[in-house]
Structure 1
Amino acid sequence: MRMFTIAWKDLKIRLRDKKSFITLLLMPIVLTAILGSALSGVFGESGALPEMTAGAVVNSTDEVTVQFLNKVLQGKDLRESITLKEFKTESDLREALEHQQIDAGLLFPAEWGEGLLKGESKQVTILKDPEKEIQASILSSITKSFINRVTSVSIASRTVAEGFNMAVPVSNQNINISENVTELTAELSKVAESTVNSVTMEKDGKEPITGMQYYAAAMGVMFILFNTTIGAKTIIQERNTETLARLMNSPVRHSSIMAGKFLGTLSFAFLQFIVFIIATHYLFGVAWGSNVWQLIVLGMAYSVSVSGFAMIIAGFITEEKTADSIGGIGVQILALLGGSMIPMAAFPSVLQQIASIAPNKWALDSLLDIMDGTSWNTLVMPVTILMLSGLAALLAGSMKLKHR
């Protein structure tokens, strides 16, 4: 068919282009080596919690609050990860947070511990640095876990005590209600303080994603995204030199021409994906997961999305320089937004939601899932989104090119 002939011609032109080879094949491999080696420590490859400095303001001291500060936050499981600093006032705590002396802060209300023993859950205010969302989330989870355990023990103890008081002895034996309730409370407290229910630093059975793995995936999806600009420029060049016009006037159908241009970009993007996977695996030992078919399906879906956006850029932009500028800036913005520069976990929640517009975000998240050993069900939504966005962009770009 004619569209495959057109696609093969475009692919050969790009393979002969030394600039494309350096930009799209060599550069991502070099950057993966640099970033993966330099920033590997950021990813906590040992499975440990990230280190943090937490501040606390305690308005009233009681046994429960002291237990939380000394036996939980500074217990044997967390003291290596959490450095605790106590402040006298809320203003001191906020000032320390503003000057980044601490990563997150805890404001304990008056009679917090006594309230928990009565079954009253008084809110602990969590102050956080916007740049330290992960640390604040961990601190919040630890606090909520402790509150739930203490509240559960308190409610259970009161319920049993009320039951004892209402019970009628069925024998002549003397029952020491106070002593029994005390013993039960002590046993429940042991359960509440058990390290089984606390935050520990153990693996979940899977190896954590390494810095090299993350940046291999991040650089791969970012440089494949450059095909949007290169694919669009190829079409714009042919349009400016009247090559595309002569092709349109030939017996070849418009749909075959557009499909050929689309397949040319798609085939190069997919080839780039496969070469990058193989190169990083054998050069740097990057583990891309155990399911090769998942990688192939995702790579094809991402290539469809990238190729579709190349068509829409070619349809709406007439000048090569404009396409180069807009495409370059756009790729950098999408790369940053999609997590190729900075891991998405470091972004505020609002930005993480906005990032869903970036196709490279869906590809990157899916690649990390595949590395971690995911199921096909997890990939259904990202693959569908990538395919549909690419085909929709192809349709819009083809219609625009037809009118030009």
Structure 2
Amino acid sequence: MNILRIAGKELKVFRDIKMLLFMLATPVLLMLILGTALSGNFHGTVKVDPIRVLYSYDSTSSAVGKQWEAFLLEAKASGIRFEEVTNRTETDVEREVQNGLYTGYVRIVDDGISYYGNSGNGMENGIVQGLLAAQADRYRLTIAETDLPTPDGNYVTEASVDAVRQPGGLDYFAVAVTTMIILYSALTAGQLIETERSRHTDLRLLASPITKGEIFAGKIVGTLVLNAIFVAITVLLSKYMFGANWGEHLWLVFLVLLTEIVLALSLGLGVGYCLKGNAAGSVLMIVIQAAAFVGGAYTPVDQTTGMMNSLSRYSPLHWSNDAILQIIYAGNLMAAPPAMMLNLGCSILLLALAIVLMRRREGL
């Protein structure tokens, strides 16, 4: 009961209409400005680094061999280097792909082509997948010519698939700005306890029949609910005001956003207990800005290269954005659990740190 009372106190911000409008108007305006100003980044040309791909050939078919040799010549002319695997196990090859030394690994067998790609190199990975898909389709048509005709007398049956949808400017920044604004809630969380100290209300709370744990839990629950409501309203405004695409699985997208809210609050509390006053706010601002800059808040991660691309993997914005975009545009629901587990895993560590530091103090 005490936890709910403290949580209700944190929700009283809804009484402040000016603060409410500010918190809602800021992300909506950012979406509109960035989505309009940088929309050209989603339809222009982008320079890519030389693409290197490993492959192993394990097919006994002469027809497949001829097709593959011809494909290698075409790929080389296009600037894509296919290097055959020698003296390396598949585990070693996959590790090299994960570390970004190669864009992907192709294995050619009698049954077809299998491909293992590095999702961190999104654009190069997409180019290789497109070429391999075309090659696999060409191989299928060649083999079909030697088969018996189908009942309607045709030797070849055509099949086509829709291209993977891509987000436009407003679509992308609706997601990126939402996740960035969530991370900024760490600043508010960092001041949850500091505000009580500055007002000297921490002593009154400790003198009341309430434990430190109830105060801590109540503030987390209240702030979590408050931020979840703001995020839900922001998502709905971007969806119905700007027509931003949030996909057909909005509930799963919101679950990913909810775990990021937990991470942001945990980050604020953890840093708030480690540092006091303005120092905590300064450190949080640096961390948030760095995570936003490398995590794709201002430009898609796929358009960055080198160190920037490598650093993006350590930003919660990157793995949250990537999971949400895969859910929306690729229908890949399995992209959500890894991002949610990363968010919750980091949250547990930060909350544990905050709890340990809180117990060591006499006050809050």
Task: State if a TM-score over 0.5 links the two structures.
Answer: yes
Counterpart pick for 2:182 among 209, 221, 224: 224
When structure 1 is superposed on structure 2, of 358-367 and 327-336 the one drifting more is 358-367
Counterpart for residue 35 of structure 1: 34
For residue 212 of structure 1, what is the aligned residue in structure 2? 170
How many Å apart are 1:248 and its aligned residue? Answer: 2.3
Contact 2:2 2:210 in 1 (8 A): yes
State the AA in 2 paired with 1:36: G
Inter-partner Cα distance in structure 2 for 1:346 and 1:375 = 22
Letter in 2 for 1:2: N
Tell me if structure 2 keeps the 8 A contact 1:11–1:268: yes
Q: Structure 2 counterpart of 1:370, which letter? A: I
Q: TM-score, normalised by structure 2?
A: 0.67
Inter-partner Cα distance in structure 2 for 1:276 and 1:138: 31
| Structure 1 counterpart SS, 2:337 | helix
Alignment of 1:5-404 (within 5 A): 5-13=5-13, 16=16, 18-19=18-19, 21-22=21-22, 24-44=23-43, 50=45, 203-204=162-163, 206-319=164-277, 321-348=278-305, 350-404=307-361
Offset from partner CA, 1:250-309 (integer Å, 9 cap, x none) = 211111111011112211221121011110011001121112321232232122111111
CA deviation vs aligned residue, 1:168-201 (integer Å, no higher than 9, x gap): xxxxxxxxxxxxxxxxxxxxxxxxxxxx9xxx9x
The change in CA–CA distance for 1:203 and 1:350 in structure 2 (over 3 A counts) is farther
Deviation for aligned residue 1:393: 1.5
Moved more, 239-248 or 273-282: 239-248
CA RMSD of aligned residues (A): 4.5
CA distance in 1, matches of 2:280, 2:31: 27
SS of corresponding position for 1:372 = helix
Q: How far apart, CA to CA, are the structure 1 residues paired with 2:48 and 2:297?
A: 27
Residue identity opposite 2:34 in structure 1: L
8 A Cα contact 1:52 1:135, kept in partner: no
In 2: Cα distance, 1:135 partner to 1:394 partner = 37
What does the per-residue CA deviation read over 1:75-114, in whole Å, with 9 as the maximum and x for residues that have no partner? xxxxxxxxxxx9xxxxxxxxxxxxxxxxx9789xxxxxxx
What is the alpha-carbon distance in structure 1 between the residues aligned to residue 194 and residue 279 of structure 2?
Answer: 10
Deviations 1:117-137 (A, max 9, x none): xxxxxxxxx9xxxxxx77766
Task: Report how far residue 350 of structure 1 moved.
Answer: 4.9
Distance, in Å, in 1 between the alignment partners of 2:49 and 2:360 is: 62
**Relative to 1, partners in 2 of residues 1:14 and 1:390: Cα closer, same or farther, differing over 3 Å?**
farther
SS class of match (1:235): helix
Aligned amino acid, residue 4 of structure 1: L
Contact 2:273/2:357, CA 8 A, preserved across alignment: yes
- CA distance 1:324–1:140, shift in 2 (3 Å): same
Q: Output one character per residue of 1:210-255: Cα deviation in whole Å (capped at 9) or x when no partner.
A: 2211100000010111110112123212122221232123211111
Counterpart secondary structure, 1:226: helix
> How many Å apart are 1:352 and its aligned residue?
3.7
- Which protein has the larger Cα radius of gyration, Structure 1 or Structure 2? 1
2: distance between equivalents of 1:224 and 1:54?
33
CA contact 2:327–2:333 (8 Å) conserved in 1: no
Distance of aligned partners of 1:395 and 1:223 in 2 relative to their CA distance in 1, 3 Å threshold: same
2:281 counterpart letter in structure 1:
D
Aligned length: 303
Counterparts of 2:122 and 2:326, CA distance in 1: 19
Unmatched segments (≥5 aa) in structure 2: 51-69, 82-101, 103-120, 138-157
TM-score of the aligned structures, taking structure 1 as reference length: 0.61
Counterpart amino acid of 2:328?
Answer: M
What amino acid sits opposite 1:332 in the alignment?
Q
Q: 2: distance between equivalents of 1:33 and 1:354?
A: 27
Shift of 1:397: 1.1
**Matches of 1:376 and 1:142, distance apart in 2:** 22
Mapped to 2, the partners of 1:245 and 1:141 lie a distance apart of: 62
Q: Structure 1 pair 19/330, CA: closer, same or farther in 2 (3 Å)?
A: farther
Cα distance change on mapping 1:396 and 1:54 into 2, 3 Å = closer
Contact map agreement 1:222 1:360 (CA 8 A) in 2: yes
Change (3 A) 1:278 1:254: same
Q: Which amino acid aligns with 1:39?
A: L
Rate the CA distance shift 1:31–1:226 in 2: closer, same or farther, 3 A. Answer: same
